[in-house]
Structure 1
Amino acid sequence: MELFGQALGLGTIGLVAGVVGAVVAALATRGSTSTLTSYVQHFAAGLIIAAATLDLLPEALALGGGWPLIVGFVVGTAFMLALRAVLNRFGHGHAAGEGHDHEDHAGHGGGTALAARPQVVAGVNLRLAIALAVVVLIDGAIIGVALSAGGAAALLIAIALSIELLFVAASVAGSTRGAGGTVATAVGVGAFVAVMMPVGAVLGALVFAGVSSTLLVAGLAFGAAALLFTAVAELLVEAYEIKESAGTIAMAAGGFLLFLVLMMLM
C-alpha cells in the first residue's frame, strides 16, 4: 500500500504540471491557429523522443534487450497503429473556422490534405488527445516501474516526465483553442491527458511489481514505441500543418536537450 501511495504522489506532480500547462496554453492561444501552439508541440515532441531514446530503450538494453525488446517494440507500434485506425473510424471533420481552402504542402489542392486530418469535435482533435493520453499513461507507468524496482531515481524521473507533461498538456490545449474550442474545453482536455500520469503510476507499480526482466524489457520497448509513434505521427504532423520554421525545429531540439540534461543530472 505504501508503494501505491508513493506512486500516486509522484504521479500527482505530473498532474499538477499538466494542468498548469493546459491553463497557460488555453489562455495564451486566442482561438485561432497559433505559432505558439506549433512551438509548444515541437518542444513536446522533442521531450517525448528523448524520453524514448535516452531513457526507455537504454534501460531495456541494460536489462538484457534481445527478442523481448523487439517483440515489445513491434507490439507497441502495432497497438498505436490499431488505436489510430479505430479513432479514424469516427470519420473526418473540421471545427468551425478551419480553412477548408487550405492547400497541402506539396502545392496541390486541399482535398487530400483535408481528408487526412482527424476528427475535430468542439475543437478537440480526438486522435491527438487520446494518443497523448496513452503516452502519458505509459509515462506514469515508468514512474511505477522505477518505484517497483526500488530505484532511487524515481523522484527525478517523475520530475523529468512532469516537465514533459507540462508541454504535452499545453500542446493539446493550444491545439484545441486553435481549432475553435473554448478555454474551458481546452483546459478540460489538457487535464484529461494529465490525469493519466497518476493513473499510470499506480498501475505501473501494481503490474510491474516483481515481474521478470523479460516482461520488463518488453514493457519498456512497448512504451518507447508508443512515445515515438505519437511524437512523429501526431504531434509533429499537426504542428507542421500550423507552421514550420527554423525556430520550431530548434524548439524540438531544445526539448530533446532539456530531457538529456535532466538525465545527466540524475
Structure 2
Amino acid sequence: MMTAAWMYTLIPAAAAIIGATVAVNTRPGPNIVSAIQHFAAGVVFAAAAGEILPDVMHRGSPVATVIGGAIGVAVMLLVSQLETRAKGPVGLMTAVGIDILIDGLVLGIGFAASPRVGLLLTIALTLEILFLGLTVANELGESVRSRLKIVGITAALVLLLPIGALLAAPVGALPDPVVTGFFAFGLIALLYLVTEELLVEAHETPDRPWVTAMFFAGFLLLLVCEEIIG
C-alpha cells in the first residue's frame, strides 16, 4: 500500500508543475488565485474533518492524540516562523519545501489509515500543491528570468512529496497508540494549512460572493467524492 502512496504523490506533483507552467506564461488575476485558494481550502477541510478526525476519535487513545496533536502544533508554528523570516528566493524555497515534505508525510499517513483515506487526501492535496506551484512560479518570476528554470525548480521541490510519503511508510506497522499520534499530527497539519495559509492568503484580496462560495463548493465536492468512493 505504501507503494501506492508513493505513486499517488505523482498526481499532486504533476499539478504543481502544471501550475508553475501556467503561471510563467499567464499570470492569473488575484480573484482567480483567491478562488483557487478558497476551493482548495474547502477540499482540504472536508478531508480533515471527514476522514482523519473520525479515525482519531474512534481509536480511543487520548494521550496519543494529545501528544501527536501537540507535536503537530509545534511543527506548524515553527514552519510559520520560518515562512515569516524567509528572505528572498532561498528562504521561500526552504519554507515551501518544508510544506511539501509535510504534505507528503500526511499523504503517507492517510494511506496507512486506508486506501480510501489516502485517495481522498490525494484529491485534496493535489489542489493545494497546484496553488503552491502557482505561488512559487509567481515569486521566482520576480528574480529568475528563465521560464524553464522556474518550472525546473518547482519540479525539484515537489520531489519532496514522495520522500515525505516514504518517510511515513513504517506508520502502519507501529503500535496503535503511535499510529493515533501520527493521525493527530496529520489532522493538525491539514487544519493549519486551511486556517493559517490558504484562507489567510485568500482574504488578501477583497471578498466577492462567488469567490467565497468556492470554499463550500470544494467542501461539497469532496463530500460527494466520499459518497461515490464509499
Show the counterpart of 2:121: 161
Return the TM-score normalized by structure 2: 0.81
Show the counterpart of 2:21: 23
Show the counterpart of 2:177: 214
Tell me how far 1:174 sits from its aligned partner. Answer: 2.6
Aligned residues: 225
**The 10-residue stretch of structure 1 (63-72 or 215-224) with the greater mean CA deviation from structure 2:** 63-72
1:39 aligns with 2:35: yes
Identical positions, percent:
27
Distance 1:249 1:134, change over 3 A: farther
Show the counterpart of 1:203: 167
Check conservation: 2:104, 2:163, Cα contact below 8 A.
yes
Determine the C-alpha separation between the residues in 2 that align with 1:27 and 1:209.
42
Deviations 1:91-145 (A, max 9, x none): xxxxxxxxxxxxxxxxxxxxxxxxxxxx4538x8558624631442233222441
Name the SS of the counterpart of 1:225 in structure 2.
helix
Determine the C-alpha separation between the residues in 2 that align with 1:37 and 1:74.
32
Tell me how far 1:4 sits from its aligned partner. Answer: 4.7
Name the SS of the counterpart of 2:212 in structure 1.
helix
Name the SS of the counterpart of 1:64 in structure 2.
coil
1:54 aligns with 2:17: no
1:11 aligns with 2:5: no
Among candidates 85, 89, 112, match of residue 145 of structure 1:
112
Gaps of 5+ in 2: none
1:121 aligns with 2:81: no
Name the SS of the counterpart of 2:207 in structure 1.
coil
1:250 aligns with 2:213: yes
Structure with a larger share of its residues in helix: 2
Deviations 1:155-176 (A, max 9, x none): x444433332332122123334
Distance 1:127 1:77, change over 3 A: farther
Distance 1:39 1:260, change over 3 A: same
Distance 1:52 1:4, change over 3 A: closer
Gaps of 5+ in 1: 91-118
Distance 1:14 1:75, change over 3 A: same
Amino acid at match of 1:215: V
Amino acid at match of 1:40: I
Amino acid at match of 1:129: V
Return the TM-score normalized by structure 1: 0.71
Tell me how far 1:40 sits from its aligned partner. Answer: 0.9
Tell me how far 1:190 sits from its aligned partner. Answer: 4.7
Among candidates 86, 100, 111, match of residue 133 of structure 1:
100
Name the SS of the counterpart of 1:241 in structure 2.
coil
CA RMSD of aligned residues (A): 2.9
Determine the C-alpha separation between the residues in 2 that align with 1:185 and 1:259.
34
Check conservation: 1:137, 1:199, Cα contact below 8 A.
yes
